[in-house]
Structure 1
Amino acid sequence: MGSNVVAHEAPGEHVPTPGSTERKPDRRIGLAVVGAGYWGPNLVRNAQQTAALRLHWLCDLDEQRSRKVLGEYSTVASTTSYEQVLADERVRAVAIATPAGAHHALARAALEAGKHVLVEKPITTTVAEAADLVALAEERGLVLMCDHTFCYTPVVRRIRELVHGGEIGDVQFFDSVRINLGLVQPDVDVLWDLAPHDLSILDFVLPPDVEPVGVSAQAADPIGAGRACVAYLTLHLSNGALAHCHVNWLSPTKVRTTLIGGSRRTLVWDDLNPQARLAIHDRGVDLTPPDELTDAIRHRALISYRVGDVVAPALVEQEALRNVMAEFAAAITEGRAPLTDGRAGLRVLRLLHAASRSLELGGATVPVDAGTGTADDTALLTRRLPAQQKAAAR
């Protein structure tokens, strides 16, 4: 008996004839990767392994390099023409992995063409350019995402949950060390090379009501490389706490640690210890506020030291960049801002510029919103800083 079931076509959807070899439309998000240098191949690999994405193009000025990345039998096309990529209606999104100086022009062209954009850090080289991209993306209703890769590691996601959930109490300090015997970069100093990692993590994990308001930086070039090879960065937070970052190209040993102290617990992240990357310490200093502080002896008597358990939570090892690609695709599909959106990239860039401005001023504390490289008057240097730190900035 023949079937009398009729396949109804949903509005805007084409249903293939039963028994035909006609393929259904590909609902994956068409993607192009721009840049086949150091980071581009990683984007290509992870895009191809993300079910929600369909990689169509790899664009680079060196087409031989692109073809080498793609391999002999890849179905992904290579091109040297960015205009060809943007003209392809299948491409809904672009991932940019080029030198930072090209980010603004490439991202702006993609946004103007109606494409969603994932861009490597730093988002641009200037605050004005980053603000321009953020405004354009929001005006067009497009996703602008910054690839702050460390924020998508399982350990940093867990740290964010613990801090935002209040498990560690009020944030009292943030201390990170990122040092190794690394490559002295030809175009940037150690601050711009390594600190973006720690600053993006800080921006990601801080509670919504706490933000950096002032930055001071010290740096040195002990080997005569022509750019800073060692740097120390101190950030004044809006709740009166301090964050500190140490970056160094000259250390014979590699260290990747971050401590986040809270009024209830302290988090210790050792990225080089895969067996226990994160430890939660129920240890710290408690202070019972007196009704009236009469003398130092009474004050000392009100301080107690808490010694509790140390817990190392189990964390599933995942490739962070795979999570970046998944978040990019999800943000596009769901029509929402990604976890590390353009505004996050802009905030990190403001911190970097404030740090550079501080170096120019001999380590003076610079307000974050003055860190554009153009403000240099005393009023700006002290505006928005906590009262107890203003004297040091004068």
Structure 2
Amino acid sequence: MNIQRDSQINVAVIGCGYWGPNLIRNFNAIPDCRVKWACDRDGSRLARVTSLYPEVCCTSDFERVLADPDVHAVAIATPVSTHFELGSKSLAAGKHTFIEKPLARTSEECQQLIDMADSRGLSLMVGHTFVYNAAVRKMKEIIDSGEIGRVLYIGCQRLNLGLFQHDINVAWDLAPHDISIILHLLGNSPDTVSCQGKAHVRDGIEDVTNMSLSFDQGPFVTIQSSWLDPNKVRRMTVVGENKMIVYEDTEPLEKLKIYDKRVEVPRTYDTYAEFFYSYHYGGVYSPFIEQDEPLRVECMRFLYRIRDGVSIESEGRHGLEVVRVLEAASRSLANGTAAVSLA
């Protein structure tokens, strides 16, 4: 679907529960963009959208949305189990398609969506919002500059009380954020994945998981995810040879702190008595970060991709890589936490 550079892009948002209204708000706030349709099976959700955005057409009929020739793009914010069906129908109808994370339930489904988009010349984007977070982008800039040296390990914690999902476990719900950030920071995928977890509230759906990612000649990564924690924690620690970064997303201002700390091993020594570790304790600073709502940036990038064909940070192939890691984690859970190769 070709769109003139200065023409308006009409978007339909599918799913108006927890996240859909945020998409409507952000797309509507972007110049030369309009949310024409909101679609949901729940009439009360549509009534709320109508009260907030009376200019948006509301319907429970997805096919009606797809049949509208004025709709250029579809944004899908529905349960994961519906992503492939709705996404493939959207692409088949010739619509540029945005799908919230994870892109689909399996890597095979992801690949099919990618192939459909490529064969039709359409844009396919996955909602990895955190790669558009200003603090994450600054963190990547610092890592790429070499300031902290070679990355040794990354530790992630994403914890809170709920929201419990009925069709995916906590790893599939929360870990995609951390996985997408890690793949963005490092620029490659892990070689092996292992995962352990337990279901305490609902049988068969783990609400606490610990995932480990190993990169060949690269860092070791741990990801802790939980729906059963009393506090909301959003922390990532990146340890380099020279310095360390702590990213606290719940901090209102100083989200990034760079610690001039490291441990050094003597290069040469003649006797055991001469061997000792040297601990360097330097200062701490928090770089200035110009804040912008990550979801707004993400929506704008989707529109840039549609209008100009530019490469973006969360295309379909990035969604595929995240799902491959999640699949490996699921296999590890099923096999007693054994490491699973992604080769």
Q: Identify which of 198, 217, 220 aligns with 1:220.
A: 198
1:281 maps to 259
Q: Count residues in correspondence.
A: 341
For 1:63 and 1:220, the matched residues in 2 are separated by 36
Q: Does 1:320 align with 2:294?
A: yes
Higher relative contact order (CA 8 A, sep 6+): 2
Deviation at 1:92, TM superposition (A): 1.2
Cα shift readout 1:213-234 (whole Å, capped 9, x = no counterpart): 1001111234565432221111
For 2:36 and 2:176, the matched residues in 1 are separated by 30
Moved more, 231-240 or 351-360: 231-240
For 2:17 and 2:88, the matched residues in 1 are separated by 21
Deviation at 1:113, TM superposition (A): 2.1
Q: Does 1:167 align with 2:147?
A: yes
Once the two structures are aligned, what percentage of the paired residues are identical? Answer: 40
1:256 maps to 234
For 2:9 and 2:201, the matched residues in 1 are separated by 48
Q: Does 1:42 align with 2:22?
A: yes
Partner amino acid, structure 2, of 1:93? A
Q: Tell whether the 8 Å contact from 1:143 to 1:337 is kept in structure 2 after alignment.
A: no
Q: Does 1:76 align with 2:56?
A: yes
Query: Within 5 Å, which residues of 2 pair with 1:176-195?
Result: 176-195=156-175
Deviation at 1:84, TM superposition (A): 2.2
Cα pair distance change 1:189/1:294, threshold 3 Å: farther
Q: Does 1:53 align with 2:27?
A: no
2:338 maps to 364
Q: Tell whether the 8 Å contact from 1:152 to 1:320 is kept in structure 2 after alignment.
A: yes
Partner amino acid, structure 1, of 2:214? H
1:147 maps to 127
Query: Within 5 Å, which residues of 2 pair with 1:1-394?
Result: 27-71=7-51, 74-206=54-186, 208=187, 210-222=188-200, 225-287=203-265, 289-290=267-268, 300-301=275-276, 303-369=277-343
Partner amino acid, structure 1, of 2:69? E
What is the CA RMSD across the aligned residues, in angstroms?
Answer: 2.3
For 1:363 and 1:343, the matched residues in 2 are separated by 27
Partner amino acid, structure 2, of 1:273? E
Q: Tell whether the 8 Å contact from 1:120 to 1:146 is kept in structure 2 after alignment.
A: yes
Partner amino acid, structure 2, of 1:142? L
Q: Tell whether the 8 Å contact from 1:143 to 1:338 is kept in structure 2 after alignment.
A: no
Q: Give the TM-score of the pair, scaled to structure 1.
A: 0.81
Moved more, 254-263 or 59-68: 59-68
Deviation at 1:317, TM superposition (A): 2.8
Where structure 1 has 5 or more consecutive residues not aligned to the other structure, the ranges are 1-11, 14-24, 370-394
Deviation at 1:240, TM superposition (A): 3.7
Moved more, 308-317 or 98-107: 308-317
Cα pair distance change 1:273/1:65, threshold 3 Å: closer
Q: Give the TM-score of the pair, scaled to structure 2.
A: 0.92
Deviation at 1:144, TM superposition (A): 0.8
For 1:224 and 1:326, the matched residues in 2 are separated by 38
SS, match of residue 356 in structure 1: helix
SS, match of residue 32 in structure 1: strand
Cα shift readout 1:24-58 (whole Å, capped 9, x = no counterpart): x9712111111112111111111111114221111
